[in-house]
Amino acid sequence: MTPRRLGRPLIRLETVDSTNRAAAELAGQGAAEGTVVVAEVQTGGRGRLGRSWSSPRGGLWLTTILRPPATAGETVATLALVGGVAVAEAVGRLTSWLDQPPEVRVKWPNDVHLNGRKLAGILGQVCPPDAVLLGIGLNLNVSPEELPFDVRSLATSLGREAGRFMDPSASLEVLFAELSHWYGRWLDEGFAPIRRRCLDLSATIGRPVRVSGPDLELEGEAVDIMDDGALLVRTGGRDTVVRSGDVSVRTQ
């Protein structure tokens, strides 16, 4: 396997509207694969589908420029899961010293949850002609009180769950090591190993879920993650392939 080191060069900004927007500009100027933009504060952090991402001081807000061999829809979907697995593995390493490490889960299509609350979100975007921007927002030392009221009760931070201040530079290094590892595997072996790890770490597989997407609403059981990163949901005897949308686990 060819080792690939993501996270160099590292461009540190104090305040920016969105690291994905800043990275798009750099990618357009030919920035190399692995270049990362990281900001202390984002004033216009973006989520999916036009949603916003709250980015006060204390979080890791960053975008990595990737130049994969293709930039089709499934590339972005599977790379978002590469990001999810890498974040989850990094969080696992950063909390392994605790007597009772928090439960880390990947929640399809682009979240990482810690003890049932949203810790991180991933935003994969194609940047024509040949780049993919992998945005990661991780609440490192953000206290939920600093987040908007409607987000607060659903979110958590690593510092809060670990019960101590998390060192940003050390945390970034662990995150880049995991991202480099899982992106390298994605390039060399395809999505299969990431899919397997996603299934192990999944918050949804085998659980009753509600899916709301741009063009569908359904309830069923999440049964699998497909080769192209889609989620398979079973309702009665019927399977539906879900390519985008939000999934919530139903409590019965």
* Backbone φ and ψ of 97, nearest 5°: -75, -15
**Count of residues in the chain:** 252
Residues 38-67 interacting with ligand BT5 (rule: CB under 6 A): 42, 45-49, 51, 53-55, 61-63
Question: Binder to ligand BT5 among 75, 139, 180, 202 (CB under 6 A)?
Answer: 139
**CB hemisphere CA count around 3 (13 angstroms):** 5
Residue 214 CB, shortest distance to ligand BT5, in Å, is: 12
Minimum distance from CB of 21 to ligand BT5 (Å)? Answer: 7
DSSP string, 175-206: HHHHHHHHHHHHHHH-SHHHHHHHHHHBSSTT
Angle between helices 73-94 and 192-201 (to 10 degrees): 50
Q: How is 104-151 classified by DSSP, letter by letter?
A: EEEETTTEEEETTEEEEEEEEEEETTTEEEEEEEE-SS--GGGS-HHH
Judged by CB under 6 A, which of 34, 68, 102, 121 binds ligand BT5?
121
Q: Of 12 and 51, which has the nearer Cβ to ligand BT5?
A: 51
Least distance to ligand BT5 from the beta carbon of 3, Å?
Answer: 25
For residues 21 and 195, which CB has a smaller minimum distance to ligand BT5 in the complex?
21
168-189 and 73-94 are packed helices; what angle lies between their axes, rounded to 10 degrees? 140
Residue 204 within binding range of ligand BT5, rule CB under 6 A: no
- Binding-site member from 10, 13, 41, 151 for ligand BT5 (CB under 6 A): 151
Q: Which uninterrupted H or E stretch holds 70?
A: none
Q: What's phi and psi for 8, nearest 5 deg?
A: -135, 130
Please state the closest distance from residue 228 (CB atom) to ligand BT5, in A: 19
User: Can you tell me which residue has the tokens 């980015």?
Assistant: 55
Q: Which stretch binds ligand BT5 (CB under 6 A): 67-75, 88-96, 114-122, 219-227?
A: 114-122
**Which is nearest to 219 in space by CA: 202, 201, 238?**
238
State which residue, 23 or 194, has the beta carbon closest to ligand BT5. 23
Question: How many residues line the site for ligand BT5 (CB under 6 A)?
Answer: 29
H/E stretch holding 157 reads none
Q: Residue 13 or residue 218: which is nearer to ligand BT5 going by CB?
A: 13
152-181: which residues touch ligand BT5 (CB under 6 A)? 155
Which of 7, 68, 84, 135 is close enough to bind ligand BT5 by CB under 6 A? 135
Report which residue's Cβ sits closest to ligand BT5: 121
Query: DSSP secondary-structure letter at 7?
Result: S
Residues that bind ligand BT5 (CB under 6 A): 18-20, 42, 45-49, 51, 53-55, 61-63, 110-111, 118, 121-123, 135-137, 139, 147, 151, 155
